[in-house]
Amino acid sequence: MLESAAALPDNPRAIGRGPTYHAIFALCYGLGLRGGEACHLFLEDIDTDRQLLVVRGGKFGKSRLVPFGPRIGELLARQLKHRQGQEGAGPGSPLFTFDGRRCVNRTSASHTFRLLAIELEFPVPAGTTAPHLHSLRHSFAVGSLLRWYREGVDPSVRLFQLSTFMGHVDPASTAVYLTITPELFSEASHRFEVFAEPAWLEEQP
């Protein structure tokens, strides 16, 4: 998906369309941002020295700090360099824009994502909806949980951190994003087997 987004051609109303949508989708997938949060970042919201994003006006108007790692840092540095080299770009200017004044529209980003998903022929199991931009946020949450299982970390200990990172008030809101995938089910089953093995051994004659 990210490679296909990066390869999107320009059109008269959207110069730099590929790199722009690639970066927006990468932030949704890599940091679990909502589509609107990624689209409405401003230059002043990026702190490359401390590797922090200021996400303003999230759900219910809440703002939060979101740390990022080297790969996202490189992506943001490229976008910052691109924008800062454009005439009239100041701290309060949009990070992602096609006209230099207005933020990329979230609806346009969602529409572009849906078209790419159709073009890439992502399988859609019966009874489920087709992938949409918000699916990247779900993928981030599930990926975090899967990584913790594989690293031997107790997910219940980290769930509060994940909830805060994603801008949720409590873990119950985050749990909605934790769809059970085959990989996640396998890791959870393995953890249960390790946990229950001593009890099974004690019961054996």
Active-site residue numbers? 34, 59, 134, 137, 168, 177
Q: Alpha-carbon distance 24 to 177, whole Å? A: 20
Contacts of residue 107, Cβ cutoff 8 Å, sequence gap at least 6:
none
Listed residue (47, 50, 157, 42) closest to 95, CA to CA:
42
* Two tokens, residue 133: 């931009």
How far is Cα of residue 191 from the mean position of the Cα atoms in its chain?
26
Q: Alpha-carbon distance 190 to 151, whole Å? A: 13
Max CA distance (Å), the chain: 79
Listed residue (112, 106, 101, 2) closest to 43, CA to CA:
101
